[in-house]
Amino acid sequence: MRGLTKSFNGLRAVDDVSITVQRGDICGFLGPNGSGKTTTIRMLCGLLTPDAGSGTCLGYDIVRDAVQIKRRVGYMTQRFSLYEDLSIAENLNFIARVYGMSERKRLVQQALERLGLADRRNQLAGTLSGGWKQRVALAACLLHDPQLLLLDEPTAGVDPKARREFWDTIHDLAASGITVLVSTHYMDEAERCHTLAYIAYGKLLATGTAEEVVARSKLVTWSVSGAGLYELAQELRAQRDVAMVVPFGSTLHVSGTDEQALAQALAAYQSRADLEWRRIEPGLEDVFIRMMEGAPAR
């Protein structure tokens, strides 16, 4: 995709975004709320027509062949959108009927078994936990055997065990050749993606693997633990060459973009006996917080 741009009521929601995702890859879209992630995903799959830009999805032109793309895409929204007063099987059967699928019985059974839902097929959707609702929604997306899955913050409000199981399933699907685009706010989920795209205020700020994004940030990070961290954080934030101070549990992550200048700014503090300093690799969260702080607001 090259130069994708989309505006709403004069506000540019996506501004000249270019991105490439290989077949069978899991690409994570990250960024703050309102950054343009969902709009970008919808343009990629033909649900929205870009104001400018071009590209292909699954070999089809995103403008001319939107109908062909839609037939090959499974889209899972943030909110559970199935009927809560129908059973799991009834929901899937209804969706299969809406899309005029042949062999509905076989396809529904296949989806139930693929997502581990067969034993709960008669349970009302409204009685399911968040994790199980998530599975039903994903089963619905897979009914028509899509080549591309679009997952819009699919694990919001889901417990850690269910999130891990969900991601194991996503990797199984990717291994079978399905391409996955997923928007998420969770850094542990971002690290499970093959590639990442970070968007803020409609601008694409970074792409690549997690390792590549961290390496290109040029961020230098120290971890410090000890007494009086709150007061220390206030002092460090006043230092010109300290770009960022972020609490992480019982430590602070102190970062800068100039290694030598940061070393000079921290020298006096690193000589204190009540503080323990350790040079660490910056994490994705460190990098993305820094990107967000440096991004131009709309």
- Please give the distance of CA 296 from its chain centroid, rounded to a whole number: 21
For residue 177 the two structure tokens come to 């050749």
- Same-domain pairing of 239 and 110: no
Both 127 and 227 in a single domain?
no
User: Which of 39, 21, 1, 72 is CA-nearest to residue 194?
Assistant: 21
- What's the pTM value of the predicted model, to 2 decimals? 0.85
pLDDT at 294: 63
User: Number of folded domains in the chain?
Assistant: 2
Given 211, 227, 248, the domain boundary residue is 211
Q: 289 in a domain, yes or no?
A: no
* Model confidence at 21: pLDDT above 70: yes
Q: Are 224 and 275 in contact (CB under 8 A)?
A: yes
**CATH number of domain containing 266:** 3.30.70.920
CB distance 143 to 96 below 8 Å: yes
Helix (H, G, I), strand (E, B) or coil at 50: coil
Instruction: Express as a percent the part of the chain with pLDDT over 70.
Output: 98
Residues 121 and 268 in one domain: no
How confident is the model over 235-256, as a mean pLDDT?
Answer: 94
Do 274 and 143 lie in one domain? The reply is: no
Percentage above 90 pLDDT, the chain: 57
At 52, give phi and psi (nearest 5°).
Answer: -155, 160
pLDDT of residue 161: 87
- Identify whether residues 120 and 9 lie together within a single domain: yes
CATH of the domain at 152: 3.40.50.300
Same domain, 173 and 229: no
How sure is the predictor about 235, in pLDDT bands with cuts at 50, 70 and 90? Answer: very high
The per-residue pLDDT for range 132-185, each reduced to its tens digit, is 998 999 999 999 889 999 998 888 778 888 888 889 999 999 999 999 999 888
Residue 24 lies in a domain: yes
Determine the pLDDT at residue 297. 59
Instruction: Summarize the confidence of residues 90-96 as an average pLDDT.
Output: 94
Query: Residue 42: which domain range?
Result: 2-211
> Does residue 115 belong to any structural domain of this protein?
yes
In the predicted model, what is the mean pLDDT of residues 71-85?
85
- Residue 212 reports pLDDT greater than 90: yes
Q: How far apart are CA 123 and CA 82, in angstroms?
A: 13
**Mean pLDDT across the stretch 129-134?**
88
Q: Are both 115 and 234 inside the same structural domain?
A: no
In this structure, how many other beta carbons lie within 10 angstroms of the beta carbon of residue 98?
Answer: 8
- Estimate the crossing angle of helix 130-142 against helix 160-175, to 10 degrees: 20
Residue 7 φ/ψ, nearest 5 degrees: -120, 150
Tell me whether residue 207 is in a domain.
Answer: yes
Q: Are residues 199 and 99 in the same domain?
A: yes
Average pLDDT taken over every residue of the chain: 90
What's phi and psi for 62, nearest 5 deg? -70, -15
What angle do the packed helices 229-237 and 259-270 form, to 10 degrees? 140
Confidence of residue 50 (pLDDT cuts 50, 70, 90): very high
The region of weakest confidence among 77-81, 178-182, 191-195, 216-220 is 77-81
The pLDDT-based confidence of 118 (bands split at 50, 70, 90) is very high
**Using CA atoms, how far apart are residues 96 and 38, in angstroms rounded to an integer?**
25
Same domain, 73 and 121: yes
Are the CB atoms for 219 and 292 separated by under 8 Å? no
User: Is residue 5 scored above 70 in pLDDT?
Assistant: yes
Question: What local confidence, expressed as pLDDT, does residue 236 receive?
Answer: 96
Please tell me whether residues 46 and 69 are part of one structural domain.
Answer: yes
Q: Which tokens go with 73?
A: 């895409």
Task: Write out the two tokens for 47.
Answer: 């649900």
Q: Is the pLDDT of residue 293 over 90?
A: no
Q: What does the pLDDT average to over 256-270?
A: 95
Band (273; pLDDT cuts 50, 70, 90):
very high
Residue 292 forms part of a structural domain:
no
Nearest in space to 26 (alpha carbons), one of 137, 213, 183: 183
- Average pLDDT (195-224) is 92
List, in sequence order, the alpha helices (H) in the chain.
Answer: 37-44, 66-71, 88-98, 104-114, 130-142, 160-175, 187-190, 210-216, 229-237, 259-270, 284-294
Question: What are the tokens at 241?
Answer: 């060459």
Query: 260 and 128 share a domain?
Result: no
Over residues 104-115, the pLDDT tens digits come to 999 999 999 989
pLDDT computed for residue 295 by the predictor: 60
Instruction: Give the pLDDT confidence score for residue 112 in this predicted structure.
Output: 94
Residues 111 and 88 in one domain: yes
